[in-house]
């Protein structure tokens, strides 16, 4: 290879190596995040997982993912034939125990039986009443109702599925103003108090919302040197849902 050819090849290699580095040097630097901002997470005021309270087979589900449900709305129905049959047996046993008690009392008036037999008959009535109450309560397990108004966040089961007691069925989150959860440096604790305002910027909406501190944890995380706070948005905003995140700032604490 000639001397001129070698020089040309070397120049080409240098240009390939230096061009990306020069381009990176020329690129504008990313703006730094606001050092006073603290990460936050939106959470529902109430949220729970509803589980089956009995063994059984589900029918058609009455609620679906994201559906708005009212308090006491029926979400699912289990096959209740066995529970209803036990309830009928319990009612029949109570009726029989009461009839036996009435008979013992009549015989006692004739001195045909003693006080002990009457007391035992009365105890049998009380026992039968307890069995009836238990059977009625178990019959109530056949229906899964919403304990509060809200939205279905997750459906864990399918229609006509056989489930055991304790099987998760639905995740339910409440309506209303959302809670704001955040952890702040513990050195700010003397400056913070319930009712103190803060501004919450939500990433998903790109908007800022007014809020105020509603609760301060009574214990500091010794490892992270932070304290957990809970705040409330000052108003309801339909576009906000639980799980959104963003940042918050305490003007009084940082400015």
Mean pLDDT of 190-205: 91
Q: Is the pLDDT of residue 227 over 60?
A: yes
Q: Using a pLDDT cut of 70, give the percent of the chain over it.
A: 84
Q: Is the pLDDT of residue 61 over 80?
A: yes
CATH code of 127's domain = 1.10.287
| Total-model pTM | 0.67
Mean pLDDT of 13-23: 47
Mean pLDDT of 156-166: 94
Dihedral sign (CA 117, 120, 126, 129)? negative
Q: Whose structure tokens read 């509060």?
A: 148
Q: Is residue 202 part of a domain?
A: yes
Single residue among 115, 140, 165 that ends a domain in this structure: 140
Q: Are 180 and 200 in contact (CB under 8 A)?
A: yes
Mean pLDDT of 137-148: 91
Tens of pLDDT, residue by residue over 32-55, are 355 568 999 999 888 999 999 999
Q: What is the pLDDT of residue 42?
A: 93
CATH code of 194's domain = 2.40.30.170
Residue 127 and residue 182 share a domain: no
Q: Are 54 and 187 in contact (CB under 8 A)?
A: no
Structural domain harbouring 200 = 38-46+176-254
Mean pLDDT of 180-191: 90
What's the CA gap between 252 and 254, in Å, rounded?
6
Q: Is the pLDDT of residue 180 over 90?
A: yes
Q: Is residue 217 part of a domain?
A: yes
Q: What is the pLDDT of residue 48?
A: 93
Q: Is residue 61 part of a domain?
A: no
End-to-end CA distance of the chain: 68
Tell which residue, 104, 103, 52, has the closest CA to residue 78: 52
Q: What is the pLDDT of residue 6?
A: 55
Tens of pLDDT, residue by residue over 84-106, are 888 899 999 999 999 999 998 99
Residue 241 and residue 183 share a domain: yes
User: Range with the lowest mean pLDDT among 17-21, 134-138, 190-194?
Assistant: 17-21
pLDDT band at 4 (very low <50, low <70, confident <90, very high): low
Residue 246 and residue 182 share a domain: yes
Q: Is residue 214 part of a domain?
A: yes
Q: Is residue 156 part of a domain?
A: no
Q: Is residue 19 part of a domain?
A: no
Task: Please indicate whether residue 150 or residue 19 has the higher confidence score (pLDDT).
Answer: 150
Q: Is residue 71 part of a domain?
A: no
Q: Is the pLDDT of residue 197 over 70?
A: yes
Residue 187 and residue 120 share a domain: no
Residue 180 and residue 250 share a domain: yes
Angle at 69 between CA 63 and CA 70, to 5 degrees: 140
Mean pLDDT of 167-173: 95
pLDDT band at 238 (very low <50, low <70, confident <90, very high): confident
Mean pLDDT of 101-128: 90
Q: Is residue 249 part of a domain?
A: yes
Tell which residue, 177, 186, 178, 176, has the closest CA to residue 38: 186
Residue 133 and residue 189 share a domain: no
The total number of structural domains in the chain stands at: 2
Q: What is the pLDDT of residue 24?
A: 43
Mean pLDDT of the chain: 84
Q: Whose structure tokens read 């214990």?
A: 219
Tell which residue, 92, 51, 46, has the closest CA to residue 75: 51
């Amino acid at each position: 290879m000639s001397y001129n050819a070698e020089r040309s090849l070397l120049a080409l290699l240098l240009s390939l190596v230096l061009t990306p580095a020069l381009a990176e040097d020329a690129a504008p630097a990313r703006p730094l995040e606001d050092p006073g901002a603290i990460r936050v997470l939106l959470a529902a005021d109430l949220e729970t997982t509803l589980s089956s309270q009995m063994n059984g087979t589900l029918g058609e589900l009455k609620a679906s993912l994201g559906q708005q449900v009212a308090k006491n709305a029926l979400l699912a129905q289990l096959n209740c034939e066995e529970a209803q049959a036990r309830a009928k047996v319990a009612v029949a046993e109570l009726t029989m125990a009461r009839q036996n008690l009435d008979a013992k009392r009549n015989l006692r008036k004739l001195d045909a039986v003693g006080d002990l037999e009457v007391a035992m008959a009365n105890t049998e009535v009380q026992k039968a009443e307890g069995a009836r109450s238990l059977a009625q309560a178990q019959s109530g397990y056949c229906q899964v109702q919403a304990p509060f108004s809200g939205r279905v966040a997750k459906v864990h089961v399918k229609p006509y599925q056989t489930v055991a007691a304790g099987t998760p069925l639905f995740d339910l989150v409440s309506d209303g103003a959302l809670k704001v959860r955040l952890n702040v440096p513990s050195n700010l604790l003397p400056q913070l108090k319930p009712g103190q305002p803060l501004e919450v910027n939500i990433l998903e909406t790109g908007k800022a919302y007014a809020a105020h501190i509603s609760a301060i944890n009574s214990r500091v995380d010794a490892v992270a040197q932070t304290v957990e706070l809970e705040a409330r948005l000052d108003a309801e905003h339909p576009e906000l849902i639980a799980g959104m995140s963003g940042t918050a700032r305490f003007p009084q604490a940082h400015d």
